[in-house]
Structures are given as C-alpha cells and as structure tokens.
Amino acid sequence: MSGRGGVASPRVLGLIAAALTLLVDQAHKLWMLNVYDIAARQPVRVGPFLDLVMAWNPGISYSLLSAETEAGRWALLALALTATAALGVWMWRAPHWAAALGLGFIVGGALGNAYDRYAYGKVADFFLLHIDTERWGRINWYVFNLADVAIVAGVVLLLYDSSFVKEAAKPAAEV
C-alpha cells in the first residue's frame, strides 16, 4: 500500500482523494438541502462577495449544454461517467503524487455532480460569487458547489504537475 519511504503510492493517494471528495461533497449537499434548508433561508450573506443560495444547474459549467429533458439528462450523465472513467484510468497510471491527487479530486468531484444528476436530474449548487458596484449594481459571477471546488483544485494540481514535478523528476542530462 505504500511506496518508497512509507509514502502512499500515487494510485492509493488518488483513490483516497476521489473517495473523500465524493463523500464530503455529498454530505455537504445533503446537509445544505435537508438540515440547513438553504432553499428556505436563501440568500444568506457570508461575506462581501459570497452568498449561500440554492441553485439547480441542469447543464454543465455555467449551465452549458443545459439538459431540460430526460434524454438530455441521461446523455449528460453518460458523458460525465465516460469522462470520469477516462480520468480514472489516467489517475490509476499517474506516476507522481500531484497528478494522482489532482485527478482524484477531479474524479471525486465529477462523481459527486454525476450523482446529483442521477438522483435529482440537476446539480445542486450553493456558493454564489458576486461583486456589488455602484454603477451596475450586483454582478453575479458563478454559483458552484464543493465538487466544483475540488475539480478546480485538481486542475491546479495537474498544472503544477505538468510544470514542476515532471521536470524535477528528469535526470540532469535531460533538463
């Protein structure tokens, strides 16, 4: 289960990240929907640029490819699961910790959102970023959930891996 020096192998690290991301995302969504009851309380001001709201996203990022029909919903679910499977294979083969961890976050986040699409037909989002201006009033930017945060963190780790980790792992003669 562990690699050199007692450190978990990248494969194990990725699997743990995916499982924890899925678990935390779904626990947070269940709490927001059923315990905190965000739909009845919204909007809840958290800070000058962040509110808690209840938004159901029928599509993917920024509601692109919005799926309002059952066929569209199942097509998006199939697309998400296919992409997640491909990312899972990549994670399984990742040679470095940063790539495996990043892919684990992406896989866990994608599965969390895919589960929402299966269970509810849409993805539950809660965090609203906005800017309040004198000239234009409130400008809403994006509504997202913890799965989305994990996906973005995963992409950042993949960028880190592609920029720094692989270069550091090369022998000096190749650099």
pTM of the shown model: 0.84
Catalytic residue among 25, 51, 116, 148: 148
In degrees, rounded to 5, the angle at the alpha carbon of residue 42 between the alpha carbons of residues 150 and 45 is 75
For residue 51, how far is the Cα from the chain centroid?
19
Q: Quick one: pLDDT at residue 25?
A: 98
Q: Is 76 exposed, middle or buried (0-12, 13-18, 19+ CB in 10 A)?
A: buried
Q: Quick one: pLDDT at residue 101?
A: 97
Q: Quick one: pLDDT at residue 80?
A: 87
Q: Quick one: pLDDT at residue 62?
A: 52
Q: Quick one: pLDDT at residue 44?
A: 97
Starting at the edge strand found earlier in the chain, the sheet holding 137-144 runs 44-47, 50-57, 123-133, 137-144
Instruction: Give yes or no: 125 in active site.
Output: yes
How far is Cα 77 from Cα 49, in angstroms, rounded to an integer?
32
* C-alpha R_g of the chain: 19
Catalytic residue among 116, 125, 132, 161: 125
pLDDT tens string, the chain, 175 residues long: the values are 554 555 579 999 999 999 999 999 999 999 999 999 999 999 999 999 999 999 998 876 555 555 667 777 788 888 889 999 999 999 999 999 999 999 999 999 999 999 998 999 889 999 999 988 888 888 888 899 999 999 999 999 999 999 987 554 544 444 4
